[in-house]
Amino acid sequence: MYSLPKNVTLIEVGPRDGLQNEKNSIPTDQKLAFIHSLQQAGIQEMEVTSFVSAKWVPQMSDSKEIMDRVCKTGRQLVLTPNAHGVENALKAGADSVAVFVGVSDTFNRHNINRSTAGSVETLRPIVNQLKIDHHFVRACISTAFHCPYEGVIPPEQTLALCEKFVDMGVDELSVADTDGMANPLGSFTLFKTLKTKFPNILITAHFHDTRKLGLANIYASLQAGVDRFDTSAGGLGGCPFAPGATGNVATEDVLYLLQSVGIETGVDMDKICDSVDEVAPYLSRPIDTAMYNLYKRK
C-alpha cells in the first residue's frame, strides 16, 4: 500500500489553458468574474492569462487588462512564450511566469516554430534573468508522455529536458500529458522518478482527460508522491496543436477524488461549480463533468 499525501495543491488552469482554445470570444468582464469566483472557492494558485500573440491566440488578447484588473491574491501565473512575452508580462505587473517547451521536437515546431533544443537555449538567459530578479518561474513540459506527431516519448527524453530547466533554476516543473495518452503505470513511473531525481523542485502533474484516464493517472501520481496538480474547472481546455485532445481534468472531479480518500485541498466543491456557472453560458460547448452535473441536479 502506497502512502498518499495529506494535502494537495490544485493549480487552476481554466482561465488560461481552459479558455485559450475556446471558439467563442469570452468578454473580459466574464473572465474576471470566473477568476474571482475561483479565488473565492479557495484556489491559491492559478494561470490567469498568457502573453502570446493575439494573432495566434485571440482569446488571450486582453491579457494586459486582465492583469490590471485581477484581484491580487495567491500566486497568479502568466504564460509567456518568449522574451517579448516576458517583457510584456512584467510590465503588466506579473511576478510569477510560466515558460513552455515540448519534449517532442515536431510538436514544438508546430507550437512555436522552433526546435526543442533551440527553445531551451532561447529560454536559458530569460529564465536566468527572471531568477536574478526574484521571480517565480514555472517550466511547462509538454508532450511528456506522448506526441500526436511522433508517438510515444521515451521517459529518458522527458527527464533530460526537465533536468535542463532544473539546472536553469526554475521553481516548478509542470509535466504534461498533452494529448491524453498517458496511463497509470507510466504516470507512476515517470513521476516517481521525477520526485526522486529532483527533491527540491515543485513537481506538478498536468493531465488531459481525452481517454477518461485522467483521474486514474492522478491517483497513480499521488502514489508516486505528487502533491500538486493542474486542473481546470468544468474540464475546460484542449490544445490547438494536439488534434483530438480534450480538456484538462476537471477541478471538481479531482476534488471529489481527493476528498474521498481524505486529502485536504482547502478548495470548496460547490463554489468551484459556482465558478463554472460564471463562464458556462459563454462557451461553445456544454459543461459535462460528473460532479458539475450532480451539482446542477441538486
Q: Is the model's pLDDT at 98 over the cut of 70?
A: yes
Q: Residue 280 falls within a domain, yes or no?
A: yes
Model confidence at 1, pLDDT cuts 50, 70, 90, reads: low
268-285: per-residue pLDDT in tens? Answer: 999 999 999 999 999 998
In this structure, is residue 254 part of a structural domain? Answer: yes
pLDDT, position 246? 66
**pTM (2 d.p.):** 0.96
Is residue 228 a part of any domain in this protein?
yes
Per-residue pLDDT at 112: 81
Residue with cell 516548478: 172
Indicate whether 3 belongs to any domain.
no
| 2 in a structural domain | no
Residue 180 domain-assigned (yes or no): yes
* Given 140, 147, 162, 239, the catalytic residue: 239
Q: Say how many domains are in the chain.
A: 1
Q: Is residue 1 domain-resident?
A: no
Q: DSSP letters of 136-162?
A: EEEEEEESSSEETTTEEPPHHHHHHHH
Which comes out higher in pLDDT, residue 297 or 13?
13
Contact in structure between 234 and 280 (CB atoms under 8 Å): yes
- Give me the domain span that covers residue 41: 9-296
pLDDT at 243: 53
> Does 71 participate in catalysis according to the annotation?
no
Note the pLDDT of residue 2: 72
Please state the length of the chain.
Answer: 298
What's the mean per-residue pLDDT of the chain?
94
Tell which residue, 225, 240, 181, has the closest CA to residue 60. Answer: 240
- Would residue 4 count as lying in a domain? no
Instruction: For 135-162, write each residue's pLDDT tens digit.
Output: 999 999 999 999 999 999 999 999 999 9
- Which of 169, 157, 159, 178 lies closest to 247, judged by CA? 178
Instruction: Indicate which CATH number applies to the domain containing 241.
Output: 3.20.20.70
d(CA 203, CA 68): 29
| pLDDT band at residue 297 under the 50/70/90 scheme | confident
